[in-house]
């Protein structure tokens, strides 16, 4: 099979809910991907920030092979020998008392919504059925009807109503708006991404997250951090909230929790919160399977033992400082923390330029995608080393230098 036939096949039999870059990958190792013709690419997408440990990390592959051959699945209707050790490891690592395992990030969000509402009814005397949850404009918490009900993005919910109520949108990085929203005694939780990934890597003002946490504490509202993208070392700390030296009441994890191999997500909280979900309240077929627990255990150990959090901090600083030092045309700003970064461009009104620039980057061996028409996110695996980062920066510099946003063609390289 070659690239053209693979794309034809997917276009003939697949679904239409994505518009992928025209490249067909068939192999991955570390920060590199190869297409069907054997061309190598630097991966600055990391599978939507899931492949933090690098593609096909040998330790994670071995963990998958071992557990798949030993015992993959029993359902939570039974105990397995993997859940206890992993739950102890993960709760101690992130500093919580308990963990509830799910599969996708969206399911972790839905779990948090159910848990927060029931916590409000049982522990805050909120009138049953009237709980409110505050979320931020430009948030992204998943694609389920519950997650999109919390979204401000018209395109994410316009055609999917009727939407569930109970979400109150406020501007991100706005403490006055949050304080006002929290004056409603029916508010049970504030769910926020420490950095808004999908919205274009929106980094809040220094101190915003901690002050928001303190406001929530003062109003007996759960501060729930959606760290599905920012967590597990991506921003240069184990959790992005740790940059501001506080621990959220609840944290959502996903993506890199499995090293980007298959969906594993989790909700961590203390007993007084997580205990509101009793047998029969919540669950999923695969959540917390022995396979998931074993792979997540190894995936987290790789992050720790290979110092990937520290590397994300170092390589992320190198990325932002170097891009800024290039003083490139079209570049408005570069922003992010650790290895969750984005470059915002001034393409005028040309809504296609961002995607064309991503195609230009692909042509010269670097994979990145827009998260807004004028914003390209750059999020390589956390295993990227200095030489590979320099290689990527040189490619980005050359493409931006020669890109003419008024046409489909970029100049000679």
Instruction: Using the Cα atoms of residue 60, residue 64, residue 66 and residue 67 in order, give the sign of their dihedral.
Output: positive
User: Catalytic one among 226, 249, 291, 314?
Assistant: 226
CB of 371 to ligand IF1, least distance (A): 6
Choice between 182 and 266, CB closer to ligand IF1? 266
Considering only CA atoms, which of 331, 335, 340 is closest in space to residue 405? Answer: 331
As a 3-state breakdown, the chain gives helix, strand, coil percent values, each rounded to 5, of: 40, 20, 40
- Residue 39 annotated among the catalytic residues of the structure: no
Cross-strand pairs, 101: 266
Taking each helix axis from N to C end, the angle separating 308-326 and 290-305, rounded to the nearest 10 degrees, works out to 60
Considering only CA atoms, which of 366, 373, 359, 344 is closest in space to residue 403? Answer: 359
User: Catalytic one among 44, 140, 167, 378?
Assistant: 140
49 contacts ligand IF1 (rule: CB under 6 A) = yes
Residues 141-170 contacting ligand IF1, CB under 6 A: 141-143
Q: Judged by CB under 6 A, which of 229, 235, 258, 341 binds ligand IF1?
A: 229
For ligand IF1, the nearest residue by Cβ is 105
- Kindly tell me the burial class for residue 159, based on how many C-beta atoms sit within 10 Å of its own C-beta (0-12, 13-18, 19 or more): exposed
Choice between 140 and 347, CB closer to ligand IF1? 140
* Sequential DSSP letters for 13-69: HS-SS----S--EEEEEBTEEEETT--EEEESSHHHHT-TT-BT-HHHHHHHHHHHH
- Residue 12 annotated among the catalytic residues of the structure: no
User: Catalytic one among 237, 255, 314, 369?
Assistant: 255
- What gap in Å lies between CA 28 and CA 109, rounded to an integer? 29
Choice between 42 and 126, CB closer to ligand IF1? 42
Choice between 112 and 216, CB closer to ligand IF1? 112
Q: Judged by CB under 6 A, which of 236, 254, 290, 380 binds ligand IF1?
A: 254
- What gap in Å lies between CA 139 and CA 202, rounded to an integer? 10
- Residue 88 annotated among the catalytic residues of the structure: no
CB of 322 to ligand IF1, least distance (A): 22
User: Which among 138-146, 171-179, 285-293, 306-314 is the span making contact with ligand IF1, rule CB under 6 A?
Assistant: 138-146
Q: x/- contact string, 187-206, with ligand IF1 (CB under 6 A)?
A: ------x---xx--------
Q: Judged by CB under 6 A, which of 30, 105, 120, 336 binds ligand IF1?
A: 105
Site size with ligand IF1, rule: CB under 6 A: 18
Q: Judged by CB under 6 A, which of 25, 63, 106, 277 binds ligand IF1?
A: 106
381 contacts ligand IF1 (rule: CB under 6 A) = no
Cross-strand pairs, 342: 335, 377
228 contacts ligand IF1 (rule: CB under 6 A) = yes
104 contacts ligand IF1 (rule: CB under 6 A) = yes
For residue 119, give both structure tokens: 């916590």
| Phi and psi angles of residue 310, each rounded to the nearest 5 degrees, phi first | -65, -40
Instruction: Using the Cα atoms of residue 261, residue 386, residue 301 and residue 91 in order, give the sign of their dihedral.
Output: negative
The b-or-e profile of 56-83 (16+ CB within 10 A means b, else e) is bbeebeebbeebeeeeeebebeeebebb
Q: Give catalytic residue positions.
A: 140, 226, 255
Residues that bind ligand IF1 in the complex, under the rule CB under 6 A: 48-49, 104-106, 109, 140-143, 193, 197-198, 226, 228-229, 254, 263
């Amino acid at each position: 099979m070659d690239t053209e036939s693979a794309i034809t096949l997917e276009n003939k039999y697949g679904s239409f809910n994505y518009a992928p870059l025209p490249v067909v990958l068939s192999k991955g190792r570390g920060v590199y991907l190869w297409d069907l013709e054997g061309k190598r690419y630097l991966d600055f997408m990391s599978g939507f920030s899931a492949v933090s440990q690098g593609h096909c990390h040998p330790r994670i592959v071995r963990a998958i092979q071992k557990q798949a051959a030993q015992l993959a699945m029993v359902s939570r209707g039974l105990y397995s020998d993997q859940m206890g050790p992993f739950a102890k490891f993960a709760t101690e690592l992130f500093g919580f008392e308990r963990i509830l395992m799910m599969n996708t990030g969206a399911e972790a969000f839905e779990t948090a919504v159910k848990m927060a509402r029931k916590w409000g009814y049982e522990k805050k005397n909120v009138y049953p059925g009237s709980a409110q949850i505050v979320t931020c404009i430009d948030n992204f918490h998943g694609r389920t009807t519950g997650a999109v009900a919390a979204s401000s993005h018209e395109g994410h919910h316009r055609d999917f109503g009727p939407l569930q109520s109970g979400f109150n949108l406020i501007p991100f990085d706005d403490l006055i708006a949050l304080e006002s929203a929290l004056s409603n005694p029916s508010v049970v939780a504030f769910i926020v991404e420490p950095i808004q990934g999908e919205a274009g890597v929106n980094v809040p003002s220094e101190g915003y997250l901690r002050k928001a946490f303190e406001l929530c504490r003062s109003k007996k509202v759960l501060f729930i951090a959606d760290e599905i993208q920012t967590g597990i070392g991506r921003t240069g700390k184990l959790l992005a909230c740790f940059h501001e030296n506080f621990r959220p009441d609840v944290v959502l994890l996903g993506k890199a929790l499995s090293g980007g191999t298959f969906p594993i997500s989790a909700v961590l909280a203390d007993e007084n919160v997580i205990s509101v979900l009793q047998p029969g309240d919540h669950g999923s077929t695969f959540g917390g399977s022995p396979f998931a627990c074993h792979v997540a255990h190894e995936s987290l150990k790789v992050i720790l033992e290979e110092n990937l959090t520290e590397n994300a901090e170092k390589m992320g600083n190198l990325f932002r400082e170097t891009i800024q030092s290039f003083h490139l045309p079209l570049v408005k700003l570069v922003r992010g923390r650790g290895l969750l970064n984005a470059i915002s461009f001034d393409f005028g009104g040309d809504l296609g330029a961002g995607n064309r620039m991503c195609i230009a980057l692909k042509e010269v061996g670097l994979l990145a995608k827009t998260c807004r028409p004028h914003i390209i996110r750059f999020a390589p695996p956390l295993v990227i080393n200095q030489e590979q980062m320099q290689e990527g920066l040189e490619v980005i510099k050359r493409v931006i230098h020669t890109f003419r946003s008024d046409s489909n063609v970029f100049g000679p390289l």
